[in-house]
């Protein structure tokens, strides 16, 4: 029974450790697929750029992308190098008389789809291509929260829209003349009633010179973005359309250049090389390099939380095993009192008695470690074969539920050694008690 308790304890620790490892791989893969391993930005954009991205844009981004791709050290490490543009604006559905502030994200769709295929850890990939794939330049994807506010629920098949906001009567069937002039269209008939009347919206943003600019886009889909705060403001555009909205016919800029590598372990080498390029070839550009952990603080916070939970569970299970083995060894001492007295009477020293019980505890721990690792690997294989999924916090697509244990040799070794140490510690007190028995009393115990 003691051996079974040790095996179950080790199995629980290993399975949860493998699950935490899988979560770490999954979170890392998600962030790397979305934001890349590294990003080149204006040196002040990360701290100040969200309030005025046009002031912290990268003007010569094509030159920078070319320099990165042609570098002899970086080129073999790269999977994708792609520019992105992010800024705030206002989205409006003038046909319904509603609008709201939004966060616009302009991307190169083909590059983003290639980034989504990154799979350094051999995990099941359930993500699909961007909904902007194969769409026209003036297409957009919005969050479901934006769709509800703009009253596009019916056209975009968004649920939970029963409690609509109070209706505001539109002032007419046409766009205001100043807005129509900004969009480059003559009337509401052209701006809103394109392919699917209610799916056409207008985006208003301040251009690089501070003047307002408007673009009319066709919403192809509304998607939940995982976090309500993001879902309520998200608008995804093709990069060219986003640049036109901000920079018009002038020189286009971007807010970041995203780099995705073949392996996460290559980040130190790639970052060192990027820093060298920025100090030499691109020394005239006020740029800086940020990794995905800096850009996504949630990643480190989530890993720290799971590490704390894993540590607490390991300590709890270790304490249970400690008292279980200690109780077993104490019973063994009581049951072997006569044998202990006999051994002491024929000349075995106290050290020999202690060594016997400590050896028994260590051997018990070794058997428990071997059986526990084998059982954990078998259960992990079974779980992985079931094809289970779950929706992780902040995710919009199902995540494979798996236990990544087979490649975690360090976790298995540390857990096994820890079990043996706990078993040995459990035997110390009973062994000491046995060694200090009075020989005459021990022999009389029969």
The predicted pLDDT at position 176 comes to: 58
**Whole-angstrom Cα distance, residue 255 to residue 345?**
84
pLDDT digits 0-9 by tens, 359-410: 888 898 899 999 999 999 999 999 999 888 877 666 666 778 889 898 889 9
pLDDT band at 185 (very low <50, low <70, confident <90, very high): very low
pLDDT digits 0-9 by tens, 16-74: 999 999 888 888 988 999 999 999 999 989 888 776 777 888 989 999 999 999 999 99
Q: What is the pTM of this model?
A: 0.80
Structure tokens at 277: 């390029």
Domain boundaries of the chain, sorted by first residue:
2-21+300-444, 79-263
The predicted pLDDT at position 179 comes to: 54
Residue 214: beta bridge partners?
A: 204
pLDDT digits 0-9 by tens, 86-95: 998 999 988 8
% residues pLDDT > 70 (the chain): 88
Q: What does the radius of gyration of the chain's CA atoms come to, in whole angstroms?
A: 32
């Amino acid at each position: 029974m003691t051996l079974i308790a040790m095996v179950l304890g080790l199995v629980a620790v290993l399975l949860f450790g493998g699950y935490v490892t899988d979560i770490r791989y999954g979170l890392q893969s998600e962030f790397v697929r979305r934001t890349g391993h590294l990003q080149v930005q204006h040196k002040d954009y990360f701290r100040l750029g969200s309030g005025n991205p046009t002031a912290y844009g990268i003007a010569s981004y094509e030159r920078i992308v070319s320099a990165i791709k042609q570098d002899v050290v970086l080129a073999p490490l790269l999977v994708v190098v792609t520019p992105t543009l992010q800024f705030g604006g206002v989205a409006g559905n003038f046909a319904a008389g509603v609008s709201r502030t939004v966060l616009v994200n302009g991307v190169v769709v083909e590059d983003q789809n290639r980034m989504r295929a990154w799979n350094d850890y051999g995990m099941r990939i359930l993500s699909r291509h961007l909904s902007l794939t194969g769409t026209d330049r003036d297409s957009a994807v919005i969050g479901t929260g934006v769709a509800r506010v703009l009253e596009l629920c019916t056209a975009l098949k968004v649920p939970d829209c029963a409690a609509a906001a109070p209706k505001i009567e539109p002032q007419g069937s046409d766009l205001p003349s100043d807005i129509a002039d900004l969009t480059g269209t003559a009337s509401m008939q052209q701006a809103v009633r394109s392919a699917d009347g209610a799916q056409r919206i207008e985006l208003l943003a301040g251009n690089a010179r501070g003047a307002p600019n408007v673009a009319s886009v066709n919403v192809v889909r509304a998607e939940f973005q995982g976090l309500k705060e993001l879902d309520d403001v998200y608008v995804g555009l093709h990069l060219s359309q986003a640049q036109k909205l901000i920079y018009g016919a002038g020189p286009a800029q971007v807010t970041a250049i995203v780099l995705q590598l073949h392996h996460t372990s290559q980040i130190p080498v790639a970052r060192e090389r990027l820093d060298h390029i920025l100090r030499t070839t691109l020394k005239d550009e006020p740029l800086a390099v940020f990794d995905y952990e800096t850009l996504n603080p949630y990643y480190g916070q989530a890993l720290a939380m799971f590490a704390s939970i894993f540590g607490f569970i390991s300590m709890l299970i270790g304490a249970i095993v400690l008292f279980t083995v200690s109780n077993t060894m104490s019973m063994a001492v009581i049951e072997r009192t006569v044998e202990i007295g006999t051994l002491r009477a024929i000349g075995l020293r106290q050290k020999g008695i202690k060594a016997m019980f400590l050896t028994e505890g260590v051997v018990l721990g070794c058997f428990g470690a071997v059986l526990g690792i084998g059982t954990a690997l078998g259960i992990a294989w079974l779980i992985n074969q079931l094809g289970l999924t779950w929706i992780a916090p902040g995710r919009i697509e199902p995540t494979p539920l798996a236990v990544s244990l087979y490649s975690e040799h360090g976790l298995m070794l540390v857990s096994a050694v820890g079990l043996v140490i706990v078993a040995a510690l459990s035997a110390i007190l009973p062994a000491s008690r046995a060694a200090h028995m009075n020989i005459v009393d021990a022999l009389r115990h029969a």
